[in-house]
């Protein structure tokens, strides 16, 4: 366990569960997560985003249609139930293990594409959606900022390619201003998703070459290695083709998203500014506590 995590547990801001990457949060930590969410949400209000929320589980069929099981099977988690006999539930053996058809949501934006697809072709201005979700990725780790269960606050833009690119550019600027206002050290870097296996290596290098994923990296405390606190993703026609989302004039629609890691950013605030938000720098307090 890192010193920061131990200290945050001792202070009651984090609650250890004994499972790597699964932590509870005290009221003060949660309050910061909520306030950060409100700050991120302001852009959506100013820019006419539609806000929607989904549960942290979704249909396996929809996640497969998004290509998730092909690209990231190592991170995926399926929900199973138990069959019940006269003596109670079967808790061992395959005959007692029943699929629910549900999987844990791994990224908030995956819940959005089926919703937009069901509405039919996109008008010229496209669609702009704000959402957040508890996300699950099966990657137990003792690294403090790497959680199996975490919250991701996202904006998803669907529409003409040029509009999606402009959305992403706007957010790259906006997010840098946000982390500067939070007085956190950061840098941007070209990145790739953790695609599985040998074909995955090709997909990762192509994603990098085409500059499709950019991350904003923050060391969660002085001396820590930088970790991605948000990402700016241009998916081109990957999801829109899978969901047959087109423009009204039948041209191809593209999509992109920006995702904020809420626990990571909050950890960085505690890591850099101390464990008592009432003592955080004035500018940071002004932004979060108004
Ligand atoms: P991405 O889809 O780019 O992998 O994730 C979007 C954002 O979610 C990341 O930039 C990061 O802030 C957050 N995130 C991704 N994986 C994890 C994780 O394992 N733990 C935590 N706490 N946040 C994560
Ligand atoms: Zn996304």
Q: Name the one residue in this structure whose structure tokens are 């131990």.
A: 6
Residue 271 CA to residue 273 CA, distance in Å, equals 6
Helices (H), 76-226: 112-118, 161-181, 197-209
The response to whether residue 144 sits with its C-beta less than 6 Å from ligand 1 reads no
In contact, 202 and 233? CB cutoff 8 Å: no
Residue 50 CA to residue 8 CA, distance in Å, equals 35
Residue 42 CA to residue 204 CA, distance in Å, equals 33
**Token pair recorded at residue 131:** 């959402």
User: Which ligand minimizes its atom distance to the CA of 226?
Assistant: 1
Distance 151 CA to ligand 1 centre (A): 8
Q: How many CB atoms lie within 10 A of CB 225?
A: 9
Q: Which atom of ligand 1 is nearest to the CA of 216?
A: 10
pLDDT tens per residue, range 14-30: 999 999 999 999 999 99
**Which residue, among 104, 215, 107, 218, has the nearest Cα to 152 in the 3D structure?**
107
The response to whether residue 152 sits with its C-beta less than 6 Å from ligand 1 reads yes
Residue-range domains of the chain with CATH: 3-59+105-289 (3.30.930.10)
Kindly indicate the confidence band of residue 187, based on its pLDDT and cuts at 50, 70 and 90.
Answer: very high
**Which residue, among 75, 129, 130, has the nearest Cα to 103 in the 3D structure?**
75
List the Cα angle 106/71/23 in 5-degree steps.
30
The response to whether residue 146 sits with its C-beta less than 6 Å from ligand 1 reads yes
Residue 104 CA to residue 59 CA, distance in Å, equals 9
The chain-wide mean pLDDT, for the chain, equals 95
Q: What average pLDDT does the segment 39-48 reach?
A: 97
pLDDT tens per residue, range 218-230: 999 999 999 999 9
| pTM for this model (two decimals) | 0.95
Kindly indicate the confidence band of residue 96, based on its pLDDT and cuts at 50, 70 and 90.
Answer: low
């Amino acid at each position: 366990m890192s010193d920061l995590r131990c200290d945050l547990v001792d202070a009651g801001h984090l609650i250890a569960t004994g499972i790597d990457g699964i932590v509870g949060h005290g009221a003060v930590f949660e309050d910061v997560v909520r306030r950060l969410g409100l700050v991120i949400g302001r852009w959506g209000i100013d820019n006419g985003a539609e806000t929607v929320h989904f549960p942290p589980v979704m249909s396996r069929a929809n996640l497969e249609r998004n290509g998730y099981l092909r690209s990231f099977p190592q991170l995926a988690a399926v929900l199973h139930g138990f069959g019940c006999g006269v003596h109670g539930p079967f808790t061992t053996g395959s005959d007692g293990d029943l699929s629910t058809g549900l999987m844990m949501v791994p990224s908030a934006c995956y819940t959005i594409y089926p919703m937009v697809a069901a509405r039919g072709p996109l008008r010229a201005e496209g669609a702009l959606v704000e959402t957040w979700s508890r996300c699950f990725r099966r990657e137990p780790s003792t690294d403090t900022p790497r959680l199996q269960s975490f919250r991701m606050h996202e904006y998803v833009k669907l529409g003409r390619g040029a509009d999606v690119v402009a959305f992403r550019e706007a957010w790259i600027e906006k997010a840098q201003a946000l982390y500067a206002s939070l007085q956190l050290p950061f840098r941007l870097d070209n990145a790739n998703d953790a695609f599985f296996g040998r074909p995955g290596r090709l997909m990762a290098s192509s994603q990098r070459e085409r500059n499709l994923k950019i991350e904003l990296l923050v060391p969660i405390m002085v001396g820590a290695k930088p970790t991605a606190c948000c990402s700016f993703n241009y998916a081109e026609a990957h999801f829109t083709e899978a969901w047959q989302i087109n423009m009204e004039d039948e041209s191809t629609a593209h999509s992109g998203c920006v995702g904020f890691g809420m626990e990571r950013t909050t950890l960085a605030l505690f890591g850099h500014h101390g464990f008592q938000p009432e003592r955080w720098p004035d500018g940071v307090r002004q932004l979060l506590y108004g």
